[in-house]
C-alpha cells in the first residue's frame, strides 16, 4: 500500500476523533490504540502574523512530539500576504504531513485561506 493510500486510510479512520478535537487548537489527539498522535490547528478568522506564529509553533510541536499528522482546520476569509507566506513556508518545510480541512459545514477558505488549503499535503473541502 503506497504512502498516500495509507495516509488517507489513517485520516478517514480518525476523522470522528479529529472533528471532536477541532474546538481545541493544537491539542494532541490519541487514536483508539493510544499510539496515534495527530495535532489540530484551527484558523478561524483573518490570517495575521499571530496566526502564522501559531501555525509555526503547532508544526514545531508536532515534529518534536513525533506526531503522525497535523490537521489545519480552516474557516477564514483571508488575510495578510506576509503571514500567509510564513504559513506556507512552515507547511512546506514540515516533516509531519499536513492535512488541510475546511470545517465546519458552511466554512470558507477564501483568499489566503485558499492558498493554505491548497498547500496541504492532503486537502478535504
Site of grid cell 494532541: 28
Rounded distance, CA 52 to CA 37, Å? 22
Residue 17 has a pLDDT of: 54
pLDDT > 70: percent of the chain: 72
Q: Which residue has the higher pLDDT, 109 or 125?
A: 109
In the beta sheet, which residues pair with residue 98? 70
Give the residue extent of every domain in the chain.
16-97+119-124
The 10 Å Cβ neighbour count of residue 34 is: 7
pLDDT reading at 32 higher than 50:
no
Could you tell me the pLDDT band of residue 124, with boundaries at 50, 70 and 90?
Answer: confident
Q: Which three cell numbers stand for residue 115?
A: 492558498
Angle between helices 81-93 and 112-119 (to 10 degrees): 10
Could you tell me the pLDDT band of residue 16, with boundaries at 50, 70 and 90?
Answer: low
Q: What is the CA radius of gyration of the chain?
A: 13
Residue 82 has a pLDDT of: 98
Question: Per residue in 60-114, pLDDT tens?
Answer: 999 999 999 999 999 999 999 999 999 999 999 999 999 999 999 999 999 999 9
CATH architecture of 16-97+119-124: Alpha-Beta Complex (3.90)
**Dihedral (CA of 48, 52, 53, 55) sign:** positive
Decide: helix, strand or coil at residue 76: strand
Over 105-118, what HEC string results?
CCCCECCHHHHHHH
Amino acid at each position: 500500500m503506497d504512502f498516500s493510500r495509507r495516509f488517507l486510510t489513517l485520516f478517514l479512520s480518525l476523522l470522528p476523533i479529529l472533528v471532536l478535537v477541532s474546538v481545541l487548537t493544537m491539542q494532541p489527539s490519541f487514536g483508539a490504540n493510544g499510539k496515534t498522535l495527530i495535532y489540530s490547528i484551527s484558523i478561524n478568522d483573518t490570517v495575521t502574523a499571530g496566526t502564522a506564529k501559531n501555525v509555526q509553533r503547532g508544526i514545531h510541536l508536532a515534529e518534536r512530539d513525533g506526531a503522525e499528522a497535523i490537521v489545519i482546520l480552516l474557516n477564514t476569509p483571508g488575510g495578510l500576504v506576509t503571514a500567509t507566506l510564513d504559513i506556507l513556508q512552515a507547511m512546506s518545510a514540515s516533516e509531519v504531513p499536513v492535512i488541510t480541512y475546511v470545517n465546519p459545514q458552511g466554512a470558507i477558505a477564501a483568499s489566503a485561506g485558499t492558498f493554505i488549503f491548497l498547500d496541504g499535503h492532503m486537502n478535504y473541502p
